[in-house]
Amino acid sequence: MRPATCRFTMDTMITVENLTKRYGDYVALDDVSFTSKPGRVTGFLGPNGAGKSTTMRIIAGLTPATSGTATVCGSSYRDIHNPATEVGVLLDASAQHAGRTGAEILRLSAMTLGVGRTRVDEMLEMVSLTAEESRRRVRNYSLGMRQRLGIANALLGDPQILILDEPANGLDPAGIHWMRTLLRDYADRGGTVLLSSHLLHEIEIIADDLVVIGQGRIVAQGTKEELLAGNGTRVRSLDDDALLQAMTAAGIVARPVIEGGFLADVAPEDIGRLAARIQIPLVELRPGDGANLEQMFLDLTAATAREGSATQGAPQ
Amino acid sequence: MTTTATPPAVLDTGRPGIPMSRLIRVEMRKLVDTRAGFWLMASIGLIALAVMIGMLAGNRNKPENLTFGDFFGLMNIPTAIILPVMAILLVTGEWSQRTALTTFAMEPRRERVVIAKLATSFIAAVSAVALSLVLGAVGAVIAGMLYSDTAGSWSMTLAGIVNSFTIQIFNLLLGFAFAALILNTPGAIVGYFALPTALSIVNELLPAFKDSVGEWIDSSLTQAPFQSGDWVSGGEWMRLIVSGIVWIGIPLTFGILRILRTEIK
């Protein structure tokens, strides 16, 4: 990556502040704020229709916000000259002229940005599209191939920031692995990545920081470790009844879990000491699962789904 | 990463943007880099060629109909249909194929893309008229060789060329304006071709309308004087300009505003 204009000077590359977007009475985004930092992959997670794409389009200057601001490198996207050399954007891999070949799409972008033709071949190689595939028309591309082409297009101008909307859609497991490696490398070299997904598992693999959105509102944000860290301790022993009694006596709140054993609200070492003292052999002792985020995400998804069916069934 | 302290700075907004010449070259390339686009452009030349051959064959017994001006005039008729369609596709294609998403992400100053597209349409129109002139000349030379001296006359007025070119640009802009306003390929094409017919019917049914407003706003009436090889009068120019304001100026203004403000999805 070439020395760029703001990478050494700013600790947040994408700043979204109090973004609100209304379509008539419908509130698509409600006071959304978050940042994306250099050297990190920020995962933008939310169910379908939560407002991820709208937010990304506002950042890229394609959708006007009702209120609030979104800046890239401290500037509004529209004020950046030749912005694709600073910010690589992939908002919809299918939004390409079906009658153009993959290579032609990259050539058009290369011409616009003013980068050489050799860069097109480099990018095709980087995303593993063969010369033969690049000469095919995009209407004959699978979604996975379109995503690769879209990522090549986003990287064409050698940007220091990448904004990718659902880039893993349509990629096979090998493709997802490839993308994870690519984005990890990119972030390790100082790049900033903001990518969205509606799949918790997918984003868990790739992201360092998480921003969770539901129904237009940010419901959680922080590092992946913070958000995925489960509270408490999972413990299972050869005599769970006795263990529960001892824990209750020690003032530890523990609730049974389906797979057996308990989830206790203290650190693993506290349970370990207690078990040693009362001499109950443990068969499992570890920090609790990241149940919080998963549960929260499920609730979000379910809430949206319920609302959808309620609207359908209810008489107006 | 460097450890020396760098003064806090925002992005250098003074760095070079995308020059207009590059945007125009990109738009010119978009005209021909798909099969549909390529054949649409190629058809301008191919049809002109077919017109030339047809005229040479069909006027064996009337070589006086094979002047340079005749060739040029007839070749301009199919061109006048194709150029507006090309202009429409250049605009609406970005929406129907959803490439606007990438186009405007690369150049967020959308007005510059619109200007590049207008310039591209203009260059295409000039090239098409120039091609008609060249093929018309070739036709005249061949006619002169094949037939008597009466064929292949080079008589052609400057007024004829200016008139043809004016009509081409007028219709091209009309198509462009409808495309910008409607942002949908079938809608813009139907609107473009249905408008003159609709106005003609109204003029037909309401002679009072035709005599008062119709003759100023019916673009097929205002264009009629420009079909000749003579200079048109000032009044005829005025009518063309008025119909241009109504059918080009107004939709183009609203269309461009729409393009600048609309949400790109």
Q: Which residues of B18-41 are buried (b: 16+ CB within 10 A; e: fewer)?
A: beeebbbbbbbbbbebbeebeebb
The pLDDT value recorded for residue B14 is: 60
- Inter-chain CB proximity B6 and A98 less than 8 Å: no
The pLDDT value recorded for residue B228 is: 85
Interface of A with B in 160-219 (CB under 8 A): 190
Residue that has been written with the tokens 């063969």 in this structure: A130
* Largest CA-CA distance found in chain B, in angstroms, rounded: 89
- Minimal CA separation from A151 to chain B, in Å: 12
The pLDDT value recorded for residue B26 is: 97
- Inter-chain CB proximity B33 and A10 less than 8 Å: no
Q: Mean pLDDT, chain B, as a whole number?
A: 89
* Residue B154 clears pLDDT 70, i.e. is over it: yes
- Minimal CA separation from B259 to chain A, in Å: 11
- Minimal CA separation from A300 to chain B, in Å: 25
**Dihedral sign, Cα of residue A120, residue A121, residue A123, residue A124:** positive
Predicted TM-score (pTM) of this structure: 0.85
From CA B230, how far away is CA B225, in angstroms rounded? 9
Q: Which residues of B touch A (CB under 8 A)?
A: 1-2, 6-18, 22-23, 25-26, 29-30, 33-37, 93, 97-99, 101-102, 104-109, 261, 263-265
Kind plus residue range of the DSSP H or E element containing A296: helix A291-313
How are beta strands A262-264 and A254-256 bridged, if at all?
antiparallel
For chain B, the straight-line distance linking the first and the last C-alpha, in angstroms and rounded, comes to 38
Of A132-141, A200-209, B162-171, B175-184, where does mean pLDDT reach its minimum? A200-209
CB atoms within 10 A of CB B213: 16
The residue of chain B nearest to residue A11, with distances taken between CA atoms, is: B8
* Residue A262 clears pLDDT 90, i.e. is over it: no
Selected residue with higher pLDDT from A73 and B2: A73
**Dihedral sign, Cα of residue B189, residue B191, residue B196, residue B198:** positive
* Residue B2 clears pLDDT 80, i.e. is over it: no
The pLDDT value recorded for residue B5 is: 38
The pLDDT value recorded for residue A27 is: 95
Q: Which of A63, A99, A113 sits opposite B34 (nearest CB)?
A: A99
Alpha helices for chain B (secondary structure H): 20-32, 35-58, 68-96, 100-106, 110-146, 158-182, 185-205, 207-209, 215-217, 219-223, 234-244, 250-261
- Inter-chain CB proximity A81 and B1 less than 8 Å: no
Selected residue with higher pLDDT from A130 and B12: A130
- Inter-chain CB proximity B97 and A98 less than 8 Å: yes
CA A261 to chain centre: 33
> Could you tell me where the beta strands, DSSP code E, fall in A46-110?
67-72, 87-90
Planar angle of CA B229, B233, B236, nearest 5 degrees = 100
* Residue A230 clears pLDDT 70, i.e. is over it: no
Residue among B136, B138, B147, B151 nearest B69 (CA): B136
The pLDDT value recorded for residue B80 is: 93
The pLDDT value recorded for residue B7 is: 37
Q: Does A64 touch chain B (CB under 8 A)?
A: yes
Q: Which of A10, A92, A99 sits opposite B35 (nearest CB)?
A: A99
Selected residue with higher pLDDT from B163 and A315: B163
From CA B210, how far away is CA B217, in angstroms rounded? 9
Q: Which of B8, B15, B104 sits opposite A62 (nearest CB)?
A: B104
- Minimal CA separation from B18 to chain A, in Å: 6
The pLDDT value recorded for residue B211 is: 83
Q: ipTM score here?
A: 0.88
CA B103 to chain centre: 22
- Give the model confidence (pLDDT) of B104-137 as tens digits: 999 999 999 999 999 999 999 999 999 999 999 9
The pLDDT value recorded for residue B9 is: 41
- Inter-chain CB proximity B105 and A62 less than 8 Å: yes
The pLDDT value recorded for residue A6 is: 58
Interface of A with B in 214-253 (CB under 8 A): none
Of A186-195, A291-300, B43-52, where does mean pLDDT reach its minimum? A291-300
The residue of chain B nearest to residue A78, with distances taken between CA atoms, is: B108
- Minimal CA separation from B258 to chain A, in Å: 13
- Give the model confidence (pLDDT) of B191-225 as tens digits: 999 988 888 888 888 888 888 888 898 988 899 99
Residue A159 — φ and ψ, nearest 5°? -80, 165
* Residue A56 clears pLDDT 50, i.e. is over it: yes
- Inter-chain CB proximity B105 and A84 less than 8 Å: yes
- Minimal CA separation from B261 to chain A, in Å: 8
Confidence label for B12 from pLDDT (cuts 50, 70 and 90): low
Residue among B241, B243, B100 nearest B183 (CA): B100
Confidence label for A308 from pLDDT (cuts 50, 70 and 90): very low
